[in-house]
């Protein structure tokens, strides 16, 4: 029940898991948040953050590598490591690759 102010530059990724939303910082701290990913996605700078799926928004700075998988999906390895498999949904792959190239 503590409020912790964060700078967007501290955010590595935002994700949903079991009906809760979390922010993971680059220092490896995880904070539960009350806002939906839709609201958070609108507040984050699209130059620095991309919504890779319904359940995850990732910072460009958090991406270590990207591996192409069969079926057209992309798997992201991040720092800090995510507690789930971070994959770009098929419908967002083209937009994600365009975002990376900018």
Segment 59-85 shows an average pLDDT of: 94
- The first and second tokens of residue 62, run together, are 């958090």
- The first and second tokens of residue 98, run together, are 């365009």
pLDDT of residue 3: 83
pLDDT band at 2 (very low <50, low <70, confident <90, very high): confident
Q: Could you give the strand order of the β-sheet that contains 30-33, starting from the edge strand earlier in sequence? A: 30-33, 20-25, 11-17, 56-59, 49-53
Alpha carbons 11 and 49: distance in angstroms, whole number: 9
The mean pLDDT of the chain is 94
pLDDT (tens digit per residue) in 21-61: 999 999 999 999 999 999 999 999 999 999 999 999 999 99
């Amino acid at each position: 029940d503590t409020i912790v102010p964060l700078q967007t530059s501290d955010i590595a990724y935002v994700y949903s898991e079991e009906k809760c939303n979390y922010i993971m910082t680059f220092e490896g701290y995880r904070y539960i948040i009350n806002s939906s990913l839709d609201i958070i996605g609108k507040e984050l700078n699209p130059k620095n953050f991309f919504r890779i799926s319904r359940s995850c928004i990732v910072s460009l700075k958090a991406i270590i590598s990207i591996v192409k998988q069969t079926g057209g999906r992309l798997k992201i390895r991040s720092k800090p490591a995510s507690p789930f498999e971070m994959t770009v949904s098929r419908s967002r792959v083209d937009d994600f690759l365009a975002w990376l190239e900018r």
